[in-house]
Amino acid sequence: MFAVLGFIGLFIFFSSFFTVKQQTAVVIERFGKFLNVRNSGLQLKIPVFDRIAGRVNLKIQQLDVIIETKTHDNVFIKMKVSVQFKVIQDKVYDAFYKLEYPHDQITAYVFDVVRAEVPKLKLDDVFERKDDIAIAVKRELNDAMMTYGYDIINTLVTDIDPDIQVKNAMNRINAADREKTAAEFEAESSRIRIVAKAKAEAESKRLQGQGIADQRREIARGLVESVEVLNNVGINSQEASALIVVTQHYDTLQAIGADTNSNLILLPNSPQAATDMLNNMVASFAASNQVGEMMKRNTPKIEKKEPRFRDMPENPENPEITV
């Protein structure tokens, strides 16, 4: 009997002590009535009279709420809102006794705010202004849950999921827009290449023309000097010009013969071709000079008549001066 009583006494004695973990609060009731809140550490209660009514977690908790709603342009979307909250240490009594199911109350408030805010926005605006939605949810929850001892740390819109057909349409729009931009860049690149090529060709033609002009200018200067040298030895200009042309003819034949892979044929090409060319050119120059002399002799001379001043009337403005 004494052993049984001793065992019961030890059991009651040890049941008087209990421990509370860090970031946890314990609610103590005496005969069903709230007594006090015990914090972390080793605690003592009166056996039989006092009991632990419950433990309240003081850590930051997260509640994920998935809501289906529609936007202003009648697109149904699913949103995931993450609510981070904790119990205020000084208001453990309110958090424990005033709310039976705090997660359900938080979820209801989140549904209410999201379904009030999202229908005001178009689908694109929902993605752009998700932070505004999160701020509205936090503001509403803070006002409502602070009374019950809950502090809303933050609210985050972590996911926006439109209908699969809407997502496919958005992807097609995005792809088409990017293809359009790529086509514009490719067209601009082609235009730049064409303009650059045209400028290069124009510059090449200009330089080529300038080179040809310089070449012809030097050839003409050389011909003039050659004619002057030939004139000094008693050869007139016609004969000198013909001789220079014949010389160029032989230079051309030499250049053609120097290239073994040339397929150029110069016609006529006979031994007397140079002599015939020289005679024909001399005769042509002589005939042209005769024609020029005949045109000068047959051109009538126009006599200039002097004005007859004495037949003109007097100056009406100044009658004393006669023109």
Say if 49 falls within a structural domain. Answer: yes
The pLDDT assigned to 26 comes to 92
Say if 323 falls within a structural domain. Answer: no
* Same domain flag for 52 and 83: no
Instruction: Point out which residues pair with 76 in neighbouring strands.
Output: 70
Say if 251 falls within a structural domain. Answer: no
Instruction: Point out which residues pair with 66 in neighbouring strands.
Output: 80
- Show contacts of 112-118: CB within 8 Å, 24+ apart: 112/140, 113/137, 113/140, 113/141, 114/67, 114/69, 114/79, 114/81, 115/67, 115/69, 118/69, 118/70, 118/71, 118/77, 118/79
Say if 238 falls within a structural domain. Answer: no
CA–CA gap between residue 72 and residue 3 (Å, rounded): 78
Q: What angle do CA 173, 177, 183 make, to 5 degrees?
A: 145
Boundary of a domain, candidates 143, 162, 181: 162
Give CA separation, 198 vs 11, 114, 210, 245, in Å.
Answer: 104, 61, 18, 39
Whether the pLDDT of residue 301 is over 70: the answer is: no
Structural domain for 158, as ranges: 61-162
Structure tokens at 224: 């003039």
Boundary of a domain, candidates 126, 142, 162: 162
Structure tokens at 179: 């293809």
* Same domain flag for 47 and 110: no
Say if 123 falls within a structural domain. Answer: yes
Residues 6+ apart with CB under 8 A from 277: 242, 245, 246, 249
Boundary of a domain, candidates 104, 135, 162: 162
The pLDDT assigned to 316 comes to 47
* Same domain flag for 83 and 134: yes
Distance of CA 116 to the CA centre of its chain: 37
Q: Scan for tokens 């004969």, then name that residue.
A: 239
Residue type, 68: E
CA–CA gap between residue 144 and residue 136 (Å, rounded): 12
* Same domain flag for 82 and 150: yes
To which H or E segment does residue 77 belong? strand 76-87
Q: Give pLDDT tens digits for 203-242.
A: 888 888 888 888 777 777 776 777 677 677 666 666 666 6
Give CA separation, 143 vs 20, 166, 250, 311, in Å.
Answer: 31, 36, 110, 119
Say if 282 falls within a structural domain. Answer: no
* Same domain flag for 20 and 39: yes
* Same domain flag for 76 and 90: yes
Q: Give pLDDT tens digits for 98-112.
A: 888 888 989 998 999
Q: Considering its fold, how many domains does the chain have in total?
A: 2
- Show contacts of 216-221: CB within 8 Å, 24+ apart: none
* Same domain flag for 128 and 43: no
Structure tokens at 156: 């985050």
Q: Give pLDDT tens digits for 134-143.
A: 999 999 888 8
Q: Give pLDDT tens digits for 148-177.
A: 999 999 999 988 888 888 778 878 888 888
* Same domain flag for 100 and 119: yes
* Same domain flag for 39 and 129: no
pTM summary value: 0.52
Whether the pLDDT of residue 245 is over 90: the answer is: no
* Same domain flag for 152 and 78: yes
Say if 148 falls within a structural domain. Answer: yes
CATH number at residue 145: 3.30.479.30
